[in-house]
């Protein structure tokens, strides 16, 4: 793109005003974020504009976060009754195919807003992603990754799922058996070509080098999520906004269908002490629930940035759960995620620490955001601890 076209590219100027107010009787503070869009390109004049962020689970077209017309041709959205803390957000026109970007079409990092006093901040939105043709993504999975099945039957959910498999390099030249780690959001684990906007975890590249250092090898199974059904499939409970939770059925599928197939077709260590499960956000939530649902199957879980806010019933399940053996749980969260992320995670850790047989690891990266880049950085530490 030449300089002239960049100069002609309209900018979107956004003013962010935050009012922080306290409720003395409750001993808590709440605040209001007011986002004011002062200029919108002619091409998108008739489009709805939304703000999407950690305050609404990154929903790109939530009507409660729709910018509304205001004086002088501006558009405004007001977000009320949120606790102080660090928030991440972006602007969209209804989907992440139409998310804001740089003036040359490159992706931008999540916007960060730390609220601990009144703030006025001006923001320029330089472009929209759909104004630029999508560049083909590279296939980045290592030779150790294979597509085990493109349509593995999931009878509990009446659907099919793509299943990925990572086999250690020694698998083809030895007769050894291996522990198995089951992971959610399979699209994002190994391959940039299939990953979402946040990119891939790089599990395969990490293990290719890490397993040499540790001398601890494992098979990793990646299960694709169900797209717009993800919020239901990874939630074991009913939710007023998303409806019936299908998490119990999803874990039933892993235990009763997928695991027996893997154990029958490949050289695995089948016992609870060698079977693990891990995921992020909703995947972290369902991984912990899997440990409660099948304590005789899963001996450890990786709980990355868990979305506990959506399923408060899980705390009660944790309190009532009677562990078998000594399950291992790795909790991770970033300091730049939702305002309640660390509080919710520590609350769960507190519940589990009242029991006697858990091995728990708590990891927090102060600059970590709610994205694949952060989880990719943490994966090696999780795997090393899990395989000790």
Q: Is 202 left (phi over 0), alpha (psi -120 to 50) or beta?
A: left
Report yes or no on 96 lying in a domain: yes
Residue 205, domain extent: 145-386
Segment (H or E) for 234: none
Q: Which two tokens stand for residue 248?
A: 């119990």
DSSP state of 255: I
Partners of 220 in the β-ladder: 166, 181
* Secondary-structure percent of the chain, ordered helix, strand, coil, rounded to 5: 30, 30, 40
Mean pLDDT computed over every residue of the chain? 88
Residue 302 clears pLDDT 90, i.e. is over it: yes
Q: Are residues 92 and 199 in the same domain?
A: no
Report CA-CA distances (Å) from 64 to 56, 158, 302, 364, 376: 9, 32, 33, 31, 32
Judged by average pLDDT, the poorest of 55-64, 143-152, 363-372 is: 55-64
* Residues 35 and 115 placed together within one structural domain of the fold: yes
Residue 5 lies in a domain: no
Q: What is the per-residue pLDDT across 224-277, written as a single tens digit (0 to 9) for each?
A: 999 889 999 999 999 988 899 999 999 999 999 999 999 999 999 999 999 999
127 and 204, same domain (yes or no): no
pLDDT tens digit string along 161-201?
999 999 999 999 999 999 999 999 999 999 999 998 788 99
Is 168 among the domain residues?
A: yes
Residue 10 pLDDT > 70: no
Q: Are residues 265 and 355 in the same domain?
A: yes
* DSSP-derived secondary structure for 149-206: EEEEEETTTTEEEEEEEE--GGGGG----B-EEEES-GGGTS-TTT--TT----HHHH
Rounded CA separation 114/81 (Å): 15
330 and 185 belong to one structural domain: yes
Question: Most confidently modeled of 48-57, 129-138, 269-278?
Answer: 269-278
- Are both 93 and 57 inside the same structural domain? yes
Per-residue confidence band for 43, with pLDDT thresholds at 50, 70 and 90: low
Q: Look at residue 306 in the predicted model and tell me its pLDDT.
A: 97
**What is the distance between the alpha carbons of residues 317 and 285, in angstroms, rounded to a whole number?**
12
CATH number of the domain within which 115 lies:
2.60.40
CATH number, position 324: 3.40.50.1820
Report the domain count for the chain.
2
Same domain, 96 and 244: no
As a whole number of angstroms, the distance between CA 170 and CA 168 comes to: 5
Looking at the fold, whether 252 and 230 belong to one and the same domain comes out as yes
**How many Cα atoms are found within 13 Å in the side-chain-facing hemisphere of 142?**
17
Least confident interval from 22-36, 104-118, 144-158, 241-255: 22-36
In this structure, the answer to whether residues 159 and 119 fall within a common structural domain is no
The strand order across the sheet containing 12-23 reads 68-69, 75-82, 28-37, 12-23, 119-125
Q: List b or e across 282-319, with b for residues whose CB sees 16 or more CB atoms inside 10 angstroms.
A: bbbbbbbbbbbbbbebbbbbbbbbbbbebbeebbebbe
Domain-embedded: residue 122: yes
368 and 254 within one domain: yes
Mean pLDDT for 117-131 is 77
């Amino acid at each position: 793109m030449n300089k002239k076209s960049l100069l002609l590219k309209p900018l979107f100027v956004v003013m962010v005003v935050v009012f922080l107010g306290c409720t003395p009787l409750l001993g808590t503070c709440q605040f209001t974020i007011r986002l004011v869009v002062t200029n919108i390109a002619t091409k998108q004049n008739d489009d709805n504009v939304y703000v999407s962020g950690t305050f609404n689970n990154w929903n790109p077209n939530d009507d409660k976060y729709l910018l509304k017309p205001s004086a002088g041709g501006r558009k405004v959205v007001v977000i009320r009754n949120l606790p102080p803390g660090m928030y991440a957000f972006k602007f969209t026109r209804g989907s992440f195919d139409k998310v804001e970007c740089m003036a040359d079409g490159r992706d931008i990092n999540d916007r960060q807003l730390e609220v601990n006093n009144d703030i006025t901040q001006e923001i320029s939105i330089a472009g929209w992603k759909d104004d630029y043709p999508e560049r083909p993504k590279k296939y980045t999975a290592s030779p150790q990754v294979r597509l085990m099945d493109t349509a593995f039957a999931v009878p509990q959910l009446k659907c099919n799922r793509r299943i990925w498999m990572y086999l250690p390099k020694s698998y083809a030249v030895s007769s050894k058996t291996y522990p198995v780690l089951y992971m959610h959001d399979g699209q994002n684990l190994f391959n940039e070509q299939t990953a979402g906007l946040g990119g891939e975890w790089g599990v395969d590249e990490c293990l290719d080098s890490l397993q040499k250092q540790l001398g601890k090898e494992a098979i990793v199974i990646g299960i694709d999520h169900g797209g717009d059904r993800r919020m239901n499939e990874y939630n074991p409970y009913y939710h007023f906004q998303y409806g019936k939770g299908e998490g119990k059925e999803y874990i039933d599928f892993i235990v009763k269908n997928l695991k027996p197939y893997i154990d029958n077709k490949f050289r695995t260590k089948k016992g609870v002490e060698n079977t693990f499960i891990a995921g992020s956000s909703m995947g972290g939530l369902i991984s912990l629930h899997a440990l409660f649902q099948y304590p005789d199957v899963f001996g450890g879980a990786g709980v990355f940035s868990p979305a506990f806010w959506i399923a408060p019933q899980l705390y009660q399940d944790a309190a009532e759960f009677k562990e078998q053996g000594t399950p291992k749980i790795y909790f991770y969260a970033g300091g730049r995620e939702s305002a309640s992320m660390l509080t919710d995670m520590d609350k769960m850790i507190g519940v589990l620490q009242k029991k006697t047989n858990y091995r728990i690891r708590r990891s927090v990266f102060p600059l970590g955001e709610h994205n694949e880049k952060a989880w990719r950085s943490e994966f090696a530490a999780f795997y090393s601890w899990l395989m000790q």
